[in-house]
Amino acid sequence: MGSLLTNAEAVVFDCDGLLVDTEACWTVAETAVFAAHGHPFGPEQKALVIGRTLEDAAKAMAEYLGRPGASAELAAELLERVRKELSGGVAPLPGAAELVRACRAAVPIAVASNSPRELLDAALWSAGLADCFTHSFAADEVRSPKPAPELYLTACEALGVPPTCSVAFEDSATGIASARAAGLYVAVVPSLSGADLDHDWLGSSLAEPELLDWARQLGDGTVR
């Protein structure tokens, strides 16, 4: 499992599949796109697209479907389907709201998401988490989204804390690669079971009591 960074000065959260139960929305949309093109959608296909930007997911889908020139078309189709699914409302994942609020009470926090701003805002508002963050950064607001480090570097700069003193919470290999490249400590709660993911700390849920205990002690100078 690893140990948590006890002297963290900032925390940066991914959103989809980590804070908010949006992966179900994405899976419904992705399944529909694959079905429309005569292909099934299962764990193998999900692994191709999870954590990617909308555009990169569409490119991967286009390659898989044998339609390499159709990525823009597939991206538009996927966006419309995800937008429709999100409109039905989404919930925070277990422990997410409690952990975010405990971290916010102690240190600066932010969101760094590979979703476009429209979908990030919809997810955070629907889950009741939007008011928890004064800083959030979306894939369409940086030149190079995840797995490049820019989203995490941008978040740390906005929070005024060096990446090496910050913790990233992630759920996918794409996001982990981004946080690792930026130099953050990486805490992982996988959204796909059975995934073997790089991590400094690994858990099964944000609701694990260890996490809340850790968050409540941030910034108080306690030696642990």
In sequence order, what E strands does 106-209 have?
A: 109-112, 136-137, 166-170, 185-188, 201-202
Assign 18 to helix, strand or coil. coil
Cβ contact 37:105 at 8 Å: no
Buried/exposed 57-71: b ≥16 CB within 10 Å, e otherwise: bbbbbbebbeeeebb
Question: Could you confirm whether 200 is annotated as catalytic?
Answer: no
Question: Could you confirm whether 16 is annotated as catalytic?
Answer: yes
β-bridge pairing 136-137 and 109-112:
parallel
Helix axis angle for 96-104 and 209-217, nearest 10°, is 10
Selecting among 14, 21, 56, 200, the annotated active-site residue is 14
> How many helices (H) and strands (E) are present in the chain, helices listed first?
9, 6
Tokens representing 92?
Answer: 């925070």
Selecting among 16, 21, 171, 200, the annotated active-site residue is 16
Q: Where in the sequence numbering do the catalytic residues fall?
A: 14, 16
